[in-house]
């Protein structure tokens, strides 16, 4: 049976035709899929496996840099470091809020103390 006699949409290729079919169509698809995945993998980057959270932005009128290292077990204490750029802050507090409890279910905020020997760093 020749290619012109068989309908490729409705008929599965016969056993002796499979190597030619695989080499002709599937290899091109595999190459395109490989190239696509290679290009996508360069644009998708993250710190996978690291639970540490980084924040740089405004907290009120202050420009801040915050690093939060969560506790390894729950319940536990997270390690929080806050650096305030510019003027010295009067008080720095940290308030843990669970996503589904909201501010009503949160405990009172912890006051961060200045780190000795560091400028505008609080823990």
Element (H, E) at 122: strand 121-122
Exposed / middle / buried, residue 83 (Cβ in 10 Å: 0-12, 13-18, 19+): middle
pLDDT tens for each residue of 17-76: 555 555 555 677 778 888 887 777 766 666 566 788 899 999 888 999 999 998 888 788
Instruction: Give the DSSP letter of residue 57.
Output: E
Query: Helix H segments across the chain?
Result: 18-21, 27-43
Tokens representing residue 30 in the block? 């595999």
CA distance 118 to 20: 71
CA distance 111 to 52: 21
Q: Quick one: pLDDT at residue 73?
A: 86
Which has the closest alpha carbon to 67: 84, 55, 85? Answer: 55
Q: Quick one: pLDDT at residue 122?
A: 94
pLDDT band at 88 (very low <50, low <70, confident <90, very high): confident
């Amino acid at each position: 049976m020749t290619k012109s006699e068989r309908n490729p949409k409705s008929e599965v290729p016969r056993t002796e035709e499979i190597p030619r079919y695989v080499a002709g169509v599937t290899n091109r698809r595999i190459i395109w899929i490989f190239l696509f995945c290679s290009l996508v993998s360069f644009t998708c980057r993250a710190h996978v496996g690291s639970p540490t959270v980084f924040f740089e932005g405004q907290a009120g009128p202050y420009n801040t840099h915050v690093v939060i290292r969560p506790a390894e077990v729950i319940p536990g204490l997270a390690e929080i470091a806050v650096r305030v750029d510019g003027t010295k802050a009067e008080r720095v507090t940290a308030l843990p809020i669970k996503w589904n409890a909201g501010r009503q279910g949160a405990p009172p905020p912890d006051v961060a103390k200045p780190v000795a020997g560091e400028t505008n760093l609080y823990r």
